Amino acid sequence: MTGKPGVGDVMPDIAMEGAGGQQIRPGDFAGRRAVLFFYPKDMTRGCTTEAVDFSRLKPRFDAAGVAVLGISKDSPARHAKFTEKHSLSVDLASDAAEGGLSDALGIWTEKQLYGKRFMGMVRTTYMLGPDGRIERVWDKVKVAGHVQEVLSAAEE
Task: Find the CATH number of the domain harbouring 45.
Answer: 3.40.30.10
pLDDT at site 111: 87
Does 47 participate in catalysis according to the annotation? yes
What angle is formed at CA 85 by the lines to CA 32 and CA 62, rounded to 5 degrees? 20
Mean pLDDT by 10 residues, the chain (156 residues): 80 93 95 97 94 97 98 95 96 94 93 89 96 96 94 95
pLDDT at site 112: 86
Residue 142's domain comprises 29-155
pLDDT at site 45: 92
Please identify which of the residues 35, 47, 107, 154 carries the catalytic annotation.
Answer: 47
Strand, helix or coil for residue 57:
coil
| Residue 21, in any domain of the structure | no
| Residue 24, in any domain of the structure | no
pLDDT at site 9: 95
Strand, helix or coil for residue 72:
strand
| Residue 137, in any domain of the structure | yes
Domain count, the chain: 1
Residue among 118, 120, 58 nearest 86 (CA): 58
pLDDT at site 121: 93
| Residue 47, in any domain of the structure | yes
The neighbour count for residue 100, using CB atoms within 10 Å, is 20
pTM, 2 dp: 0.94
Strand, helix or coil for residue 35:
strand
pLDDT at site 1: 45
| Residue 120, in any domain of the structure | yes
